[in-house]
Structure 1
Amino acid sequence: MGKMGSSMASLILAALIAIVSLSLPSETSAHNYPYPSPPPIYPHHPPPHPPHHPLPPHHPLPPHHPLPPHHPLPPHHPLPPHHPLPPHHPLPPHHPLPPHHPLPPLYPHPPHHPHPPHHPHPPHHPHPPHHPVPPYKYKSPPPPPYKYKSPPPPPYKYKSPPPPPYKYKSPPPPPYIYKSPPPPPPPPAPKPHPHPYIYASPPPPYHY
C-alpha cells in the first residue's frame, strides 16, 4: 500500500514539473528576443511551404451580345379608297299625259224669246219659221309637240390618288465594341522578414 502511494505521488510530481517546465520560457524562445527561435524538432523535415498564392480572380465572362432590336414591320399600306359608285342616271321625267281633249260644249239652247206683254189675244198670227241653228264647228287645239331631251350624265373622271411611296429605313444597330477589363495587377512581392531566420547548427538533442 505504501509503494502504490509513493508511486502515485511521484507520478503527480513528475507531471507538475513537466507542466511548469513547458509553461516557463526557454532560453531560445521567441520571448527572449533577439535570440533566434529554436530549430524544428526534426531537422530532416523541409521548412513549411510558403502560403499558396491566391488564385487570380476569374475573368468575368464578357456580357452577352444583346440581340439587335427587332426590325419593326413596315406600316401597312393603306387600302386605296373605295371607288364610289357613279351616280345613278336619273330616270327621265315621266312624259306628261297630253291634256285631255275638252268635251265639246253642249249645244246651247237658243235664247228664249221674251214673251211679249200680254195683249189681248189678237188673232193668232202664224209663227214665222224658226231660224235654223248653225252647225257647231268646234276645233280642239292640237297638243303642243313634246320636245323633251334628258340631259346627258356628266362624264365620270375619278382618279384614285396613288399611295405615297414608302421610304422606311431601319436604323442600323449600333456597333458593339467590347473591351475586356485589364488583368488585375500582379500581387506585390513578399517583403523579406525583418529578422531573417539564421539557421544555426543543431543544438544538442532535447532532454525530456
Structure 2
Amino acid sequence: MATLPMALCALAICFLATFVAADYKPYTYASPPPPSPYYYKSPPPPYHHYKHPYYYKSPPPPPYHHYKPPYYYKSPPPPSPYKYKSPPPPPKHHYKPPYYYKSPPPPSPYKYKSPPPPKHYYSESNENCKCCEKKEEDAL
C-alpha cells in the first residue's frame, strides 16, 4: 500500500501543473512564420454589361430646305441629216499629148568614096581591060 500515497502525490503534481500552465501565454516562435504557399490570382474579369444586339440607326434626315427643281439636261438639237459631199475635183490640167521621143534623122546612106581609079596608060593591053569595058557599057 505504499503505492497509494505515491499515486496521490503524482496526481496532485499534475493538477497543479495544469493551473500553472494555464496562467502563461502560449509560446510563439521568435522568427516570423513561414510564408503561405503562393497562389496566382488573376485580376477579376471586367464587369460585363449586357448589351442588346446592335441595330443600325441611320442619322436623322437633315432639316427640310426648299430646293430648286432638278435640272434637266437639254441636249443640243440633232444635226441636220448629213449629206455626203465629195471632195472638189482637182484643178483642171491642160492636157498635153504624150511625149514621143524624136530621134535625130538617120544619116544618109554612106557612100564609100573610093579614090579615083588610076589613069590607064593606053597600051596594047588596054583593049583587054575589063574595067574600061564596064565604063563603056555604063556610058551607053
TM-score (norm 1): 0.22
Structure with bigger helix share is 2
Higher relative contact order (CA 8 A, sep 6+): 1
Max radius of gyration: which structure?
Answer: 2
TM-score, normalised via structure 2 length: 0.29
